[in-house]
Amino acid sequence: MQTPSVSQASPPKRSFLYDPNVRGIFYQTLLVVVVIYLFYMAATNAIENLRRAKIASGFGFLENTAGFDISQTLITYSAAGSTYGEAFVVGLLNTLVVSAIGIVFATILGFLIGIARLSSNWMVRKVSMVYVELLRNIPLLLQLLFWYIAVLGPLPQPRNSVEMGAGFFLNSRGLFMPRPIYASDIWVLLTAIAVGVVGSLAFRTWARRQQAQTGRQYPVGLVTLGLVLGLPVAVWLVLAVAGANPISFDMPRKGTFNLQGGMQILPEFVALLIGLVTYTAAFIAEVVRAGILAVSKGQSEAAGSLGLRPGQTLRLVVIPQAMRVIVPPLTSQYLNLTKNSSLAVAIGYPDLVQVFMGTVLNQTGQAIEVVVITMGVYLTISLLTSFVMNIYNRRVAIVER
Amino acid sequence: MSTVVDTFRFVRNQQVEALPPPNLARGPIAWIRENLFSGPFNTILTLVVLYLLYVIIPPIVDFVFVNAVWTGTDRDACRAETAGHPVGACWAFVIDKINYFVYGSYPVTERWRVNIFFALLALGVVWLLWLRAPRRDLGAIYFFWLFPILSYILLTGGDADFSNGFWLGFIVLSALIVAGFGAAARFLNAPVKPAVLIGAGIVAVIGITLALLEADWGLQPVPTALWGGILVTLLVATVGIVFSLPFGILLALGRRSKLPIVRMASVIFIEFVRGVPLITVLIMANTMLPLFLPGDMTVDRLARPLIGVAFFASAYMAEVVRGGLQAMPKGQYEGAMSLGLNYPQMMILIILPQALRIVIPGIVNTFIGLFKDTSLVAIVGIFDLIKTIEASRIDPNWAAPTISYTGYAFAALFYFVFCWGMSRYSLGVERRLATGHKH
C-alpha cells in the first residue's frame, strides 16, 4: 500500500481538517446541498402555486390551437388551424431571418466604417468616429423606437403609396415589392447555379495548386464571377429565347384601399433591421479597427520591400493576420446581434420572444415551459456558434515553432 | 596646361537663412491638400462626405436650434399652424415635463429625498472612480454597504415591518453563528477569541443593517409604483453595479477554483446567463419569480427586474474580473503563498487589489453596457426614462407633430452624455495604467 507511507511521512500532529482535499470536499458538499435545497424549495413552491392557480404543466400545450394571428409568417400559419408549436416555429424563423440578414449588412457596414476610421482622409476619419461614438452610446431600444416611430411612422397611407418604380411601393404598411413565382422548370436554373459554385471552387483549388507548383497566377476572381453569376444568367437567357420562363414576377397593383399582390416587408422588420445593422456596425467597426491596428507596421513595410503593391499588401499580408484578431470578437458581435433581435418585442415585430414569450405565455400561463424553451433556443444558438468558432480559431491560430 | 588663378573668389562661410517652404507645403492649404485632396480617390471621398454632411447637418441644426420652441405651456406653442412658423424640437415640452422625466410620479413634497439619493450616488461613484481619492477602502464600504441602506431608507421611507418573531429568530441564529465560530476554532486548535470576534462582527453588521431598515425615521412611505424616470434608470443601474461587482468577483474566483464542482457551477451560471438575451431574463424574473416563492410571499413589481438585472450583470462582471485574475503574474500568487497567507488572505490582500485595478476600464465598459441595457426594463412595464417619455409623448395636451422626436432626442442626449463620459473616463484610466506598466 502506498497511501499509509505517505501519511506517515507528513507531520503526525496535523489534523485531517487542515487537509486541502478534505476541505475541498467539505466546501463542495456544502455548495451542492445549498443548490439542491434552493432547487427543491423552488420546485415545491412552483408545483403548489401552479396547482392553486389551476395552470396545467408539461409540454402538451404545444399541440393546442393557437388562435392568434402573426403578421409575418414564413411557413403556412393560420389562427384557427395552427398550434402553439407552429407559432413557436414561426417566431423562431422570424428571429433567424432578421438575424441572418442583419449579420450580413452589419458586417459590410462595419468593415467599411472600421476601414474608414483608419483612412488617410481627415474628414472620412472624423465622420466615421462621430458615427461610432454616437451609435455606441445610445441604447439600442431608443434607436429602434426612433426608427420605428419617428422615421417609418410618417409614411403615407396605402392609397397614397410612394411609387419607387420597378414595382416597388412604400407606405405605412411597409415596403411592397414584386414576388417571384417559380415555374416547374426552375430546376434547370438551380442546376446551373450549383454547377457554377462547384466549378468555381474546383478551379480555385486547381489554381492554388498550380501557383504553389509553378508560381503562375490565374484570374480566380473573374472565373468565379463568370461561373457563379454568368452561367445562370446565360442559362436563363437561353431558356427565355426557347420560350420557357422559370421565374415570373407577381407585381403589386394599386387597389382602392390597399395594394394587391406582391411581397410585403413589414415596417417593423425594416425598423428592426436598420436599428440592428447600424448599431452593431458601430461595434464591428471598432473590432475591425483594433484588428488592423494589431498588425505591426513592420509587416506592411516588409511586404512593401518585397515589391507588393498596397492592394496586395492589404489582401495578402495585413488582412489574413488581422482576421485572427478580428474573428473572435466579431463572433460575439454576431451573437449580440442575434440576442438583441429580441428587442423586436418593443416595436411589435413577431420574433421568438414577441410571439412565444409574449402572446403564448400570456395565453397559456405556462411560464416555466415557455421560458425554458425560449432560453434553450438562444443558448443552443450561442453554444453552437462558439463551438464552430473554436474550430475556426484552432485552424487560424499561429503555429508556434 | 595653364593654371588660371581666380583672385576674386567668393566662398560663403556662413549658412544662408533657409527659405520658407513653398506655400503649398505648409499652412492650412497644405494641410487641406494633404488630408483631404491627396489624390483623385480622396478628393471624391471628401466631396461625397461633404455632400452627405450638407444633406444631414443643416436640417438637424434647424430642428434642434433654429426652429426649436423653448417656451410654452401646451401644444399650441409647438404646432406650426398655431405658432405661425415652422416648428422644430419642442423643448418647451421637455421643460414642462422635466420633473416627471426625473422623478416619475414620486410625491412632490418628498422629492428632496430623491435629490439626496442622487447626491449620495455621485459621492460614491466619485470616491471609487477617482484614482487619487483618499481612503478608497472606506469608499468601497460606503458604496457597497452604507449607500444601499441609506438609499433604501430614503427612497422607500424605511420602516420595514419585521415581526417580533423575526427578531427572536435572528437573535437565536446569531447566538448559534457565534457559538459555531467558537466551536470550529476550538476543533481546529486555532485561537478561539478572534474566531468569536469575526462571528460577532458578521452578526453585528447584519443586525445593524436590519435595525436601520426597521427603524422609523419619520419618512412618509412611498410605494415603488410611484417611482419613475431618471430615478428608476439610475436605480436599476446602481443595483446592477452594487450587486454585480461582489457576485462577479465570487463567480470569477469560483471559475478559477481548483474544486471541480465549484468551477462547474460557476461556468454553468456564467455561460447560461451570457447565452440568453437580457429581455428573456427580465421576463423570466417577472413571471417565474412569484412562482418559485411560497404562496404568501410577493415580490415588489420593481424588485423583480432588479433581481434579473443583478444576476445578468454578475455574469458579465465575472468574465471581466476573470480577465484581471488571469492577467496577474504567477509570481504574485506564489509570493503570497510563500509568505504563508491562506486563500482568503491571498485574494483579499494581494491579488484582488491589483487585479481589480487593471480591470477598471473593463468594469466601466461593462457598466456602460449595463446602463444602456437598463432601458429594457421599460419592456416589462417599469417606468424608467424611456417609459416616461413614451407615456408623455401621447399626452393629448402636448399633441404636436414633433413631440416624439423631441422626447427621443432628450433621452438620447441623456444616455449619450452619461455613456460617453464614462467611456472617456475608462480610456483615460487605460492610458494611465498603460504608462504605469512601462516603468
Q: Which of A103, A113, A115, A147 is nearest to A336 (CA)?
A: A103
C-alpha cell at B313: 450583470
List, in order, residues 6 or more apart from B109 with CB less than 8 Å away. none
All CATH 1.10.3720.10 domain ranges in chain B, comma separated: 84-106+226-329+357-439
C-alpha cell at A101: 440578414
pLDDT tens, residue order, chain A (401 aa) = 444 444 445 455 566 667 778 888 888 999 999 999 999 988 888 888 888 877 777 787 888 887 788 878 777 787 777 888 888 999 999 999 999 999 999 999 999 999 899 888 888 999 999 999 999 999 999 999 998 887 777 777 776 777 777 777 777 777 777 777 777 677 777 888 888 889 888 988 888 888 888 878 777 778 888 888 888 788 878 877 776 666 777 777 776 666 666 777 888 898 899 999 999 999 999 999 999 898 888 998 999 999 998 778 888 888 888 888 888 889 889 999 999 999 999 888 999 999 988 888 888 888 888 999 999 999 999 988 888 888 887 777 666 55
B35 touches chain A (CB under 8 A): yes
Chain A contact probe: residue of B233, B279, B311 with most A CBs at under 10 A:
B279
CATH of domain B84-106+226-329+357-439: 1.10.3720.10
Q: What is the pLDDT of residues B63-110, one digit of tens each?
A: 888 888 888 888 888 888 887 788 888 898 999 999 999 999 999 998
Q: Which chain B residue is nearest to residue A380, measuring alpha carbons?
A: B275
- DSSP labels, B10-56: ----SPPPPPPPPGGGSHHHHHHHHHT-SSHHHHHHHHHHHHHHHHH
List of chain A residues whose C-beta atoms are within 8 Å of the C-beta of residue B419: 136-138
Report helix, strand or coil for B232. Answer: helix
List of chain B residues whose C-beta atoms are within 8 Å of the C-beta of residue A123: 35-36, 45-46, 49-50
List of chain B residues whose C-beta atoms are within 8 Å of the C-beta of residue A371: 280, 283-284, 287-288
Which residues 371-390 of B are in CB contact (within 8 Å) with A? 372-373, 375-376, 378-379, 386, 390
H helix or E strand, kind and range, residue A265? strand A263-265
Cα separation of A97 and A276, whole Å? Answer: 13
Report helix, strand or coil for A264. Answer: strand
C-alpha cell at A117: 476610421
List of chain B residues whose C-beta atoms are within 8 Å of the C-beta of residue A28: 259-262
DSSP B378: G
List of chain A residues whose C-beta atoms are within 8 Å of the C-beta of residue B423: 136-137
| Residue reference for cell 434607436 | A143
Its sign, for the CA torsion B47, B48, B50, B55, is: positive
Q: Which of B365, B361, B379 is nearest to B436 (CA)?
A: B361
Chain A contact probe: residue of B250, B291, B419 with most A CBs at under 10 A:
B291
C-alpha cell at A365: 400561463
Alpha-carbon B50 to chain mean position: 36
Adjacent-strand bridge partners of A162: A170
* Residue B36 φ/ψ, nearest 5 degrees: -120, -30
Are A50 and B291 a contacting pair at CB < 8 A?
Answer: yes
Closest CA of chain B from A144, distance in Å: 11
Closest CA of chain B from A337, distance in Å: 10
Whether B386 contacts B378, CB under 8 Å? yes
Cα separation of B260 and A27, whole Å? Answer: 11
C-alpha cell at A306: 518585397
C-alpha cell at A195: 454547377
The b-or-e profile of A329-349 (16+ CB within 10 A means b, else e) is bbbbbbbbbbbbbbbbbbbbb
Give the predicted TM-score (pTM) of the model. Answer: 0.85
Adjacent-strand bridge partners of B69: B90
Whether B108 contacts B422, CB under 8 Å? no
Quote ipTM for the complex. 0.86
List of chain B residues whose C-beta atoms are within 8 Å of the C-beta of residue A378: 275-277, 280
- Number of neighbouring beta carbons within 10 Å of residue A77: 17
Q: Which chain B residue is nearest to residue A346, measuring alpha carbons?
A: B379
Are A49 and B291 a contacting pair at CB < 8 A?
Answer: yes
Closest CA of chain B from A149, distance in Å: 8
List of chain B residues whose C-beta atoms are within 8 Å of the C-beta of residue A329: none
